[in-house]
Amino acid sequence: MQFEDCGSYAGDSPGKKITRARLWLSASNIMTLLGIPYQGALVLAGHGGDISTMKGLGFDPTTVVAAEIKPGLAEYTAQLHPQARTLCKDVREVCKHYPYNVAHLDFCHQITVEGLLAIADVV
């Protein structure tokens, strides 16, 4: 599989992988503790890291919606995780049309107005 360059992103580090696993385990545990049934997850597709982690932790990948604005990365993630729904669209649009009650938006860049607006829309 080939994918287009995504700028300066160097890939997952061991620390990032551990942090991602802790995030999804914590979300699952907190939702269970509070009696909140899982309805689905919204993530940024990127290189499929969140989907890989969620699958490894037992989440049903068919409940995951992944948004990606770069066509090559959207295609890469769709091929890597065909069970998840990967869309080549902005997360601000995707969040309006698919059910989820947990989200992770790892933009892999500095804080921007556009990123903050995306977070606000997803919330």
Strand positions, DSSP E, 12-83: 41-44, 64-67
pLDDT band at 9 (very low <50, low <70, confident <90, very high): low
Nearest to 87 by CA among 63, 70, 104, 103: 70
Checking if the pLDDT of 1 tops 60, the result is no
pLDDT, tens only, 49-94: 999 999 999 999 999 999 999 999 999 999 999 999 999 999 999 9
Question: Reading across the β-sheet that carries 102-104, which strands appear in turn?
Answer: 85-87, 64-67, 41-44, 102-104
User: Cβ of 20: how many Cβ atoms within 10 Å?
Assistant: 19
What dihedral do alpha carbons 28, 32, 34, 35 form, nearest 10°? 130
User: Residues 106, 50: contact at Cβ < 8 Å?
Assistant: yes
pLDDT band at 8 (very low <50, low <70, confident <90, very high): very low
* Structure confidence at residue 10 (pLDDT): 59
Side chain identity, residue 26: S
More confident residue, 118 or 87: 87
* Structure confidence at residue 112 (pLDDT): 78
